[in-house]
């Protein structure tokens, strides 16, 4: 009798601790090649949209990882709560990746990842990674102030042989990330 009661209680406890994923959840993979390595952005998102009266009009994504040549990376991005088109309040990333690019220099290649915060004055994130998956330089800022940075453009130019123009302008090979259930 005690075993039956224990098994029933355990089964009931497990059913309450597992929460179902939303039925509109999807995982998106965006892939490009850079300097002979594969770069994969994996986004965990929902197909709902943010309501138009919310602060940050972004794709509703709860997680993103970047895999560069087998090295799994995650940007340090806060989450915000936004009301979505289905009427629920959802915790989502406050900044999602919107571009991926490969900058080929005379001494090596750099992976460029760009993110956006979803409003006119929200922060933009731009990071440059080596093809070994090491963050070499980033800036996180908006039109009003800088929230942080690492490295410098001059260091990238010297180490990888890229040009200031490559770091400043969009290239023809830039991959824009479109979100939506595949």
pLDDT value for 151: 80
pLDDT of residue 181: 61
d(CA 133, CA 95): 20
> What is the edge-to-edge ordering of all strands in the sheet holding 25-34?
25-34, 37-46, 61-68, 71-73
Report pLDDT for 73: 95
Q: Specify whether the backbone of 180 is left (phi greater than 0), alpha (psi in -120 to 50) or beta.
A: left
- The pTM for the full model equals 0.82
Least confident segment among 48-57, 81-90, 168-177: 48-57
Q: Length of the chain, please?
A: 182
pLDDT value, residue 148: 67
Interatomic CA distance for residues 56 and 118, integer angstroms: 5
| Highest mean pLDDT of the ranges 14-23, 98-107, 132-141, 150-159 | 98-107
Q: Residues 66-79: what's their mean pLDDT?
A: 93
Q: What are the structural domain ranges in the chain?
A: 24-176
Share of the chain above pLDDT 70, in %: 84
Q: Per-residue pLDDT averaged across 57-76, rounded?
A: 94
Neighbours of 81 (CB within 10 A): 10
Query: What's the rounded Cα separation, in Å, for the pair 14 and 20?
Result: 12
Mean pLDDT for all residues in the chain:
85
Of the chain, the end-to-end C-alpha distance in Å amounts to 50
């Amino acid at each position: 009798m005690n075993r039956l009661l224990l098994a029933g209680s355990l089964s009931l406890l497990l059913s309450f601790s597992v929460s179902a994923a939303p039925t509109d959840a999807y995982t998106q993979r965006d892939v490009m090649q850079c300097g002979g390595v594969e770069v994969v952005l994996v986004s965990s998102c929902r197909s709902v949209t943010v309501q138009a009266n919310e602060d940050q009009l972004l794709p509703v994504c709860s997680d993103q990882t970047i895999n560069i040549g087998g090295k799994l990376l995650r940007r340090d991005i806060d989450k915000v709560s936004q009301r979505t088109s289905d009427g629920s309040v959802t915790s989502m990333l406050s900044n999602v990746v919107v571009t991926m690019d490969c900058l080929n220099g005379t001494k090596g290649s750099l992976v460029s990842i760009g993110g956006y915060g979803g409003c006119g004055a929200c922060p933009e994130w731009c990071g440059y990674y080596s093809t070994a998956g090491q963050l070499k330089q980033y800036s996180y800022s908006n039109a009003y102030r800088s929230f942080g940075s690492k490295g410098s453009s001059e260091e990238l130019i010297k180490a990888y042989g890229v040009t200031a123009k490559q770091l400043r302008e969009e290239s023809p090979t830039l991959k824009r990330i479109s979100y939506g259930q595949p």
